[in-house]
């Protein structure tokens, strides 16, 4: 990689290697001894939370506690924008900036929970933990505040204070306002926050309709809420969103979800976590196209089922030949840890696995066809609580089918298994990024101890055992965004 790009790939304490496929593909190989320029920020403010890179300029936008930074490619601070702290209480709903709150107010940090670049309108969307998750729209050039909608319930995106609790995907249009798909954990507050929704992203940052649901009437809306009955079965139920992206006519989110299962030979149920891919049509305003399918990985009899990270890339010519797909086909690179029973304290054994997105879509298509033949149930226990049989209808399901107001939302019961590329038994992999270089599909993986590993995936395995490992302080697991 060129020196300008590699200077900012290491934010030593918290973040590492954030770049786009297009910008990475232009770079040269790294020398393992090359020193890194670092940026530590204001240590008093605490940790960094999110990082995005402007594909056009190389400028870096860093979401931290109480602050947004704009950095040059060599980690020089260009401008900052303060977002907190402020007087707040997480029990205040609506937030106290809308109406008086009877809860005691204390100085509260603003943790950055989502950071997105809206290229079409040249602005940064920065959402925090204050005031039930309101967002600021900042001009990319100087971080000037263009808008901060807060007076409607649609403006409160998430009440969860964890930095990784919200994921957003922008769907752009040439002749109309864009859409913002928002996915978030709800922290036991399903009456306040939908777990997934599509919002209006208006051209005017101060428009009254900013973040309004794309469609909303008395019966139907562009959202899905977790039913309160679900919490009677799994009291701490939530959906944890790990990654999101758009491809073709669909938007996808990768999730971790708790569920109750009966172990073999047991009459009692226990709680485990299942990794699932969620798919929605971009143009589906009623969310009738919602489908989720379990995903996982297995190698030598060991199950890797707890999703840690994911990244969408292309196959490239060499990997495509091994997989029997096109070089331009979408490949989902994923990191799983071993087992299903520990979400917060994952085991150190982990695996890097790949999925061909088209094959996941084929599995979803098969499931849709069988359900519309009246076979099976909707298989979505958390949403429907009880089994609801599929209804028969005479129609053909094509690759872009977006659902009807029947047989929806739908779950796929059989798991789609990824192809294991590399396993790590001692230093758990926590993050991944990938790109195509000279027809090879390269994956960079960050580990729990702060190391970076490179794998060449052209032959379904790490063909470069001497790939360099970059060391970072123990405990500072890299985040590859």
391-411 exposure pattern, b = at least 16 Cβ within 10 A, e = fewer: eeeeeebeeebbbeeebbbbb
Chain segment 46-101, per-residue pLDDT in tens: 689 999 999 999 999 999 999 999 999 999 999 999 999 999 998 998 888 888 89
Local structure of 3: helix, strand or coil: helix
Round to whole Å and give the CA distance between 312 and 444.
13
**Distance from the Cα of residue 257 to its chain's centroid:** 14
pLDDT by 10s per residue, the chain, length 481: 333 332 222 222 222 333 222 333 334 444 555 677 889 887 666 689 999 999 999 999 999 999 999 999 999 999 999 999 999 998 998 888 888 899 999 999 999 999 999 999 999 999 999 999 999 999 999 999 999 999 888 899 998 877 677 999 999 998 899 999 999 999 888 889 999 999 999 999 999 899 999 999 888 899 999 998 898 888 889 999 999 999 999 999 999 999 888 777 777 888 889 999 999 999 999 999 999 999 999 999 999 999 999 999 999 999 999 999 999 999 999 999 998 876 666 788 999 999 999 999 999 999 999 999 999 999 988 887 678 999 999 888 999 999 999 999 999 999 999 999 999 998 999 999 999 999 999 999 999 988 888 777 654 444 333 333 333 333 444 444 4
444 neighbors 432 (Cβ within 8 angstroms): yes
Q: What is the pLDDT of residues 162-211, one digit of tens each?
A: 767 799 999 999 889 999 999 999 988 888 999 999 999 999 999 989 99
* C-alpha span between 303 and 308 (Å, rounded): 14
Contact 19, 452 (CB under 8 A): no
| Nearest of 331, 334, 336, 302 to residue 317 by alpha carbon | 331
Please give the structure tokens belonging to residue 469.
Answer: 């490992």
The model's pTM is 0.87
The DSSP-derived string for 97-164 is TTS---SPPEEE---EEEEEEETTTTEEEEEESGGGT-EEEEETTT--EEE---SSGGG------STT
pLDDT digits (tens, 9 = 90+) for 222-253: 999 999 889 888 888 999 999 999 999 999 99
What mean pLDDT, rounded, does the chain reach? 85
The answer to whether 444 touches 467, Cβ cutoff 8 Å, is no
What does the longest C-alpha to C-alpha distance in the chain come to? Answer: 64
Tokens linked to 157: 């995106």
Report the alpha-carbon distance of residue 206 to residue 137 in Å, rounded: 9
- Encoded tokens for 375: 């076979």
């Amino acid at each position: 990689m060129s020196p300008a790009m590699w200077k900012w790939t290491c934010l030593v304490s918290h973040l590492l290697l954030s770049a786009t496929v297009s910008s990475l593909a232009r770079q040269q190989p790294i020398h393992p001894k090359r020193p890194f320029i670092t940026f530590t920020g204001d240590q008093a403010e605490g940790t960094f939370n999110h990082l995005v890179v402007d594909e056009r300029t190389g400028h870096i936008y860093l979401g931290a506690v109480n602050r947004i930074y704009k950095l040059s490619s060599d980690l020089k601070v260009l401008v900052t924008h303060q977002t907190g702290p402020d007087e707040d209480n997480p029990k205040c709903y609506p937030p106290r900036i809308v109406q008086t709150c009877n809860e005691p107010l204390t100085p509260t940090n603003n943790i950055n929970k989502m950071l997105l670049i809206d290229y079409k309108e040249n602005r940064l969307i920065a959402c925090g933990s204050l005031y039930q998750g309101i967002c600021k729209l900042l001009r990319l050039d100087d971080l000037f505040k263009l808008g901060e909608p807060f007076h409607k319930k649609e403006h409160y995106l998430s009440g969860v204070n964890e930095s990784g609790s919200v994921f957003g995907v922008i769907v752009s249009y040439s002749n109309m306002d864009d859409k913002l798909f928002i996915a978030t954990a709800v922290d036991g507050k399903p009456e306040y926050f939908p777990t997934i929704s599509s919002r209006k992203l208006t051209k005017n940052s101060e428009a009254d309709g900013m973040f309004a649901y794309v469609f909303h009437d008395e019966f139907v809306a562009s959202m899905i809420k977790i039913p309160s009955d679900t919490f009677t079965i799994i009291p701490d139920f939530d959906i944890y969103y790990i990654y999101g992206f758009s491809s073709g006519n669909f938007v996808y989110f990768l999730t971790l979800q708790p569920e109750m299962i009966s172990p073999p030979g047991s009459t009692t149920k226990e709680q485990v976590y299942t990794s699932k891919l969620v798919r929605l049509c971009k143009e589906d305003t009623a969310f009738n196209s919602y489908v989720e399918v379990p995903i996982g990985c297995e190698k030598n009899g060991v199950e890797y089922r707890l999703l840690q990270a994911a990244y969408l890339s292309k196959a490239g010519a060499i990997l495509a030949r091994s997989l029997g797909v096109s070089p331009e086909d979408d490949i989902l690179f994923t990191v799983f840890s071993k087992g299903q029973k520990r979400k917060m304290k994952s085991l150190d054994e982990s695996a890097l696995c790949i999925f061909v997105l088209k094959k996941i879509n084929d599995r979803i298509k098969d499931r849709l066809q069988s359900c519309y033949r009246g076979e099976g149930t909707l298989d979505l226990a958390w949403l429907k609580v009880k089994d609801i049989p599929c209804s028969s209808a005479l129609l053909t399901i094509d690759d872009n089918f977006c659902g009807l107001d029947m047989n929806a939302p739908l779950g796929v019961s059989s798991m789609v298994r990824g192809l294991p590329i590399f396993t790590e038994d001692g230093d758990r992999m926590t993050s991944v990024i990938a790109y195509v270089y000279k027809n090879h599909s390269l994956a960079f993986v960050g580990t729990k101890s702060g190391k970076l590993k490179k794998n060449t995936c052209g032959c379904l395995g790490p063909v470069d055992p001497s790939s360099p490992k970059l060391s970072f302080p123990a405990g500072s697991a890299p985040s590859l965004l």
